[in-house]
Amino acid sequence: MLNSEDLRSTLRRIDGRGYKAYTDIRGVYNFGEYTLLVDHVQGDPFASPSQVRVQVPQQLAGFPTDTCSSKSREIALRDFLTRMFHEASGRFCQGRRGIGNSGIISIDRPGQEVLERTSAFVTESHVEARFVVGLPAFGRIISGKHAEAMFFEELPQIVRASLLFSSLDRNALYKHIEVAEDADFLRERLDELGLVAFVADSALLPRTSGVDPRPLARSQAVTFQTPQSLRVQVSLPNRGAVTGMGIPPGVNLIVGGGYHGKSTLLRAMELGVYNHIPGDGRELVIAHPHTMKIRAEDGRRIEKVDISPFIDNLPFGRDTGAFCSEDASGSTSQAANIIESLESGARVLLIDEDTSATNFMIRDHRMQELVSKDKEPITPFIDKIRQLYRDLGVSTILVIGGSGDYFDVADYVICMVDYKPYDVTEQSQAIAEKYRAERRPEGGEHFGEITERIPLAHSLDPSKGRREARISPKGLHSIAFGTHTIDLRAVEQLIDTSQTRAIGDALYYATRYMDGKETVRQIADIVLKDVMEKGLDVLGSRPAGDYAAFRGLELAAALNRLRTLRVRLGISDL
Ligand code: ADP
Ligand code: MG
């Protein structure tokens, strides 16, 4: 290991030279209080900034064991450290100076959710932060002086302010950990409690705006109040007893007038697969870990998906048992999204009428009279929603303000009025008795088989004709994968670009398991198992700070949206 003074003298030596000379600072340096690791040096002031790590020994960092005594606590602690480092860097780093990204010290920036990230680690021996540094240059000439200020003045202050237990706000840290632990605790026990989702009393669901996920000001928001009949009490390790709305398995509808908060409630449940930071308002909105939001997605590609439970009898006898399309319609895309999710292990589906294809959701009596079933390929969701639960044990939570036909198939009906939920199950059943829907069920007695698919490795080529893989996230909802772009806009539970980055690399990593035998689900499971055992770092070639954890459901969703994907059909065994 080199000494910090070695770094200082290198920086002085290369001051004023061409940018490439920065490669000389790669290495590991002893800074006394911590170790500095310069893992990767950018080739150019405009390239992605250089990758750097700091390791502070626990003798100095001093995190008590109870801050990381379980996986749940550890992830929350690491998330907290990332946030603190980010904040300290805003305070102590002078920021951009020179050209390109010169002068920045930047760590991954978490949002409202608490995710496992590679930006910070805590072990028995040390605390590690991973971040990037824009090595400063004016013109393409190295500014050793500015670099020296960054490494010898700014960074030590950032480290001291964010990575030592003694400098942190103890209460805030423990709150962060305990809130996450409670959420994990509840999510893990939903099955036991006989629930698929939970929304705590006084949760605050609405957001500041469509582009700002922070909570709406309390003064403008109606907080959540559970209807008596759906009230359950749970006991959490830190918060103790909490009451809220427990949604049981089965078919559950959310109805109510437009603008009364239906979609906001559903959105909160979608994100209930993640933990939220204290103050978010949705800390105790908890969804089953295998909850999948489904929507229509016209234009997407579909590769040999068996959508026959929903669609058959297409014009010209097109096969729907292994349906392919380069440009799916609203209904076929929504059918494929459901089948693919089931194939990947979804247990709870969330569907909003706002983002559904109408002809996929409903087909009323009059339309049945006008267009006979032999001329309508689509079996609407209303005829499949109960079978989905009865045959496959998969529950649905459906926002539908526009069709009372669904009363016939619902277990519970929740009505939103002025942002407050009411249990109107009995009323809706009485109405269903009084005004018969007259429609005839279609599509047979059973849901139908789920045919698993086996992805073929050769169809994933990220090389762009070059030797190494070219994969990079382009914002949250898109991955450049070789010469193709994966469009993830319809994968609505993806919430962080670092997840997108990890998924992109995981797709490539997954090809090693695509041996022509493993199904999409099996491959996603194996990749997730590797990540669980070895950490997210397995996905990349060097320790980087910009991966965040993702689910197998989103990994499979990305694979399914890669337009070059080719599969072989497996045996149906679900
Ligand atoms: P719906 O789906 O029933 O038409 P939305 O969920 O889209 O309604 O909500 C309509 C508007 O009301 C949105 O701007 C949303 O932010 C706001 N809103 C939703 N829930 C609440 C609430 N509990 N308190 C205050 N405003 C809310
Ligand atoms: Mg809505």
Model pLDDT for residues 271-291, shown as the tens digit of each residue: 999 999 999 999 999 999 999
Torsion of CA 78, 82, 83, 87, to 10 degrees: 150
Residue 289 makes CB contacts below 8 A (sequence gap 6+) with 187, 273, 551
Give the ligand with the smallest distance to the CA of 254.
Answer: 1
- In the reported structure, the alpha carbon of residue 332 is separated from the centroid of ligand 2 by a whole-number distance in angstroms of 22
Q: Show the low-confidence residues of the chain (pLDDT under 50).
A: 573-574
Instruction: Output phi, psi for 50, to 5 deg.
Output: -70, 145
- Does the CB atom of residue 258 touch ligand 1 within 6 A? yes
Which 8-state DSSP code applies to residue 15? T
Q: Is the CB of 215 under 6 A from ligand 1?
A: no
d(CA 234, CA 315): 52
Ligand 1 neighbour 210 (Cβ under 6 A): no
Q: Which amino acid is at 304?
A: K
Ligand 1 touching residue 29 (CB < 6 A): no
Residue of 398, 406, 392, 413 lying closest to 346 (CA atoms): 392
AA letter at 323: F
What's the one-letter identity of residue 417?
V
Distance from Cα 420 to the centre of ligand 2, integer Å: 14
Decide: 129 in ligand 1 pocket, CB within 6 A: no
For residue 26 the two structure tokens come to: 């790669």
Distance 25 CA to ligand 1 centre (A): 53
**Whose CA is closest to atom 19 on ligand 1?**
261
CA distances from 549 to 307, 497, 559 (A): 30, 11, 16
Ligand 2 centre from 403 Cα, in Å?
14
Give the pLDDT of residue 383.
98
Whole-angstrom Cα distance, residue 320 to residue 313?
8
Give the position, in ligand 1's atom list, of the atom nearest the Cα of 352: 2
Please indicate whether residue 221, judged by its CB atom, sits closer than 6 Å to ligand 1. yes
Q: How far apart are CA 175 and CA 184, in angstroms?
A: 14
DSSP 571: E
Q: What's the whole-model pTM score?
A: 0.97
For residue 355, the CA-to-ligand 2 centroid distance in Å is: 9
For ligand 1, say whether the CB of 261 is within 6 Å of any of its atoms.
yes
69 CA from centroid of ligand 1 (Å)? 39
Closest Cα to residue 288, out of 204, 378, 358, 186? 186
Does any ligand 1 atom lie closer than 6 A to the CB of residue 274?
no
Residue 551 in tokens: 């689910």
How far, in Å, is the centroid of ligand 1 from the Cα of 260? Answer: 6
**342 Cβ below 6 A of ligand 1:** no
Q: Which atom of ligand 1 is nearest to the CA of 224?
A: 23
Q: Which residue's CA is the nearest one to ligand 1's atom 9?
A: 261
Query: Looking at this protein, which amino acid is placed at residue 114?
Result: V
Q: Which ligand is nearest to the CA of 265?
A: 1
Check: CB of residue 173 under 8 Å from CB of residue 67.
yes
Ligand 1 pocket residue status of 262, Cβ below 6 Å? yes
CA 297 / ligand 1 centre spacing (Å): 24
Instruction: Tell me, in angstroms, the distance from the centre of ligand 2 to residue 262's CA.
Output: 5
pLDDT tens across 315-347, in order?
888 889 999 999 999 999 999 999 999 999 999
Our answer on whether the CB atom of 48 is closer than 6 Å to any ligand 1 atom is no
Element (H, E) at 342: helix 330-343
Please give the distance, rounded to the nearest whole angstrom, from the Cα atom of residue 281 to the centre of ligand 1.
14
Site to probe by mutation for ligand 1, drawn from 264, 350, 399 as the one with most ligand atoms within 8 Å of Cβ, is 264
Ligand 1 in reach of 218 Cβ (< 6 A): no
Say how many C-beta atoms besides its own lie within 10 A of residue 506's C-beta: 28
Q: What is the residue with the minimal CA distance to atom 11 of ligand 1?
A: 259
> What is the distance in A from the centroid of ligand 1 to the CA of 478?
28
Query: So what's the pLDDT on residue 574?
Result: 45
